[in-house]
Chains A and B, each alone.
Chain A
């Protein structure tokens, strides 16, 4: 592939030049093949999104007559006006935003402190706490829906932000381990010497360790935020009032609201997809890095 290194390594130049030319020729065909396969798959992948956006911009009457044409002579934002004007979608946006923000922020604060305690301080029952936290990784949150629902029902907290935020801080407790691993990667001497100088552990955590933990903080923030924003089953069970619904739960009701008004339905779908798509476009690199580092480490 990179010709310079090849020629440097191999003493017999002439022989390799011929060989390389042959390889290059085959490589080029193979590269063309790769690009065409990729383009086909890319097309398959973007079509649903483009088609949804396209449908949402057509008048309902036209969709009824000619459902599968891409072009319309009367592209219109009417469906968006209907969805934004009539429905509760603004409320759902706000609910989802507040819940995801609270969950992500609190998760960072609570889990980083626990991760620091486990990684850098010594306390009784430390191993037990570590093991108990690890057990939590194995418990799928989905099997908790029945008991957790009864718990919140008993204290009358259904249809509040609390029912969404509180379990999301610790479920699953992966953030503790992300911070734990990260803090362990920071030299222990830093904490030791500060402690010798008389700094309290909380001070060491806040002033020395947290500022060095930016990548872990942003990874945990992004994941908790995105996960909570898209969370469906738990909000579906606990946020039954249209005023308290999150965006995904609200969207699950719109197909019954709009029946066969496909433009309105697709406009709702697009509006539901848009916020995180925009965020993803803006922070593509960081999000992808977050996935690959936390996913692989």
Chain B
């Protein structure tokens, strides 16, 4: 997961100068060293992408090899007119809307507070980042137990302070929020660490100068910290949106898309049609539409960060 979320941020300096004349020996050496990558890359990434695109125009099935009969745009038409497909898309977006704000804002606040400490930073870094390295399956087991109606820790706490505990994962109105809460716990550390790194790059003398001028802590935060963290924030928000749109594990493990499909997200939908109903052609078409959603998010970020770079 980590490597996927950072994937999009690498600057891509496409500036390969051909200032030297290419010699056949150099040509061979270059291709020779790139060859293992190219072969694996074409077979396991580019190939499947194109195969998936082709498959989406056929009635492919998991039960037989080959593409099956041509479907034209049939799979796409079916997906676009299917209420279930759109409800899965909406659940994906809903999950993103539920997780992104807390994962950005809480991470920012905790990072700002931690950055002020003179001692003990390592402790908070440890506590907040540790869940991030735990497999989703363990997280799901622990939170399912915490959410167990009647005997789970969270419900009991709420009842102790006089509130009625919701039915967490079993209530269609609460299931998504419960999954989102577990996700915030699980992945907050990544953003927290990125923010801490961003904060460390702010020159300390800016704060000293400001406090000499009598600026309050709050003013310093508003006028120095937040503006200088803007690049970091854009990065974190973008990575978070893209990561949240890829939600699958927690939903599959904690609710299996239920209750009553209330938490069925897009990847769950693809999984259901491709691997339970064996309709791989249709699942490939749904995947392609889902990829458009993620590409739209990436594109939005690309435009935003380019504009930012031009301003800087």
Interface residues of A (CB under 8 A from B): 1-2, 5-6, 9-10, 16, 19, 23, 26-27, 30-31, 34-35, 37-38, 41-42, 44-49, 51-52, 55, 67-68, 109-111, 113-114, 116-118, 121-124, 126-127, 129-134, 136-151, 153-154, 166-167, 169-178, 181, 184, 200-202, 205, 223-224, 226-227, 229-233, 236-237, 247-249, 251-252, 254-255, 262, 265-266, 268-270, 272-273, 276-277, 279-281, 284, 287-288, 291-297
Main secondary structure of the interface of A (DSSP, over half): helix
**In the complex, B196 has a CB within 8 A of chain A:** yes
Contact of B217 with A226 in the complex, beta carbons under 8 Å: no
CB neighbours (8 Å) of A227 from chain B are 1-4
Contact of B142 with A48 in the complex, beta carbons under 8 Å: yes
**In the complex, B14 has a CB within 8 A of chain A:** yes
Indicate with 1 or 0, residue by residue over B248-289, a CB within 8 angstroms of chain A CB atoms: 110011000000000000010011001100001001100110
CB neighbours (8 Å) of B16 from chain A are 118, 126-127, 130
Please choose the segment from B83-91, B132-140, B166-174, B303-311 that sits at the chain A interface, where 4 or more of its residues have CB less than 8 A away: B132-140
Report the Cα distance A233→B8, complex, angstroms: 21
B306 to chain A minimum Cβ distance, whole angstroms, is: 15
**In the complex, B225 has a CB within 8 A of chain A:** no
Report the Cα distance A236→B135, complex, angstroms: 13
Which of A30, A121, A181 contacts B11, CB < 8 Å?
A181
Contact of B248 with A49 in the complex, beta carbons under 8 Å: no
* Other A-B pairs, 15, CB within 8 Å; known A6-B211, A38-B124, A137-B8: A9-B208, A31-B116, A51-B142, A123-B29, A147-B51, A149-B62, A150-B280, A171-B45, A174-B6, A226-B2, A226-B133, A237-B275, A284-B122, A292-B194, A297-B10
Contact of A139 with B45 in the complex, beta carbons under 8 Å: yes
Q: Which of B129-158 contact A (CB under 8 A)?
A: 129-131, 133-138, 140-146, 148, 151-153, 156
Which of B29, B156, B249 contacts A232, CB < 8 Å?
B249
A27 to chain B minimum Cβ distance, whole angstroms, is: 7
B132 to chain A minimum Cβ distance, whole angstroms, is: 9
| A51-B146, A142-B248 known; A124+B27 contact, CB < 8 A | yes
Report the Cα distance A203→B253, complex, angstroms: 48
Report the Cα distance A117→B32, complex, angstroms: 9
CB neighbours (8 Å) of A45 from chain B are 127-128, 131, 185
Contact of B142 with A255 in the complex, beta carbons under 8 Å: no
Indicate with 1 or 0, residue by residue over B209-226, a CB within 8 angstroms of chain A CB atoms: 101101011000000000
A279 to chain B minimum Cβ distance, whole angstroms, is: 8
| A150-B62, A174-B7 known; A252+B140 contact, CB < 8 A | yes
Report the Cα distance A31→B113, complex, angstroms: 8
Report the Cα distance A296→B137, complex, angstroms: 28
Contact of B134 with A273 in the complex, beta carbons under 8 Å: yes
**In the complex, B202 has a CB within 8 A of chain A:** no
A163 to chain B minimum Cβ distance, whole angstroms, is: 10
**In the complex, B33 has a CB within 8 A of chain A:** yes
Q: Can you list 27 A-B contacts with CB-CB less than 8 angstroms, sorted by A residue number?
A: A37-B113, A41-B128, A67-B151, A67-B156, A110-B40, A114-B36, A117-B34, A122-B20, A138-B8, A142-B287, A143-B270, A145-B271, A146-B287, A166-B40, A166-B43, A172-B4, A178-B10, A200-B29, A226-B2, A226-B133, A232-B135, A269-B141, A272-B141, A276-B133, A284-B122, A284-B125, A297-B10
Interface size class of B (residues with CB under 8 A): 35 or more
CB neighbours (8 Å) of A42 from chain B are 123-124, 127-128
Closest to B26 in A: A122
- Interface hub of B10, B131, B138 (most chain A Cβ within 10 A): B138
Report the Cα distance A141→B49, complex, angstroms: 9
Contact of A170 with B208 in the complex, beta carbons under 8 Å: no
Contact of A139 with B2 in the complex, beta carbons under 8 Å: no
CB neighbours (8 Å) of A255 from chain B are 141, 144
Contact of B124 with A291 in the complex, beta carbons under 8 Å: no
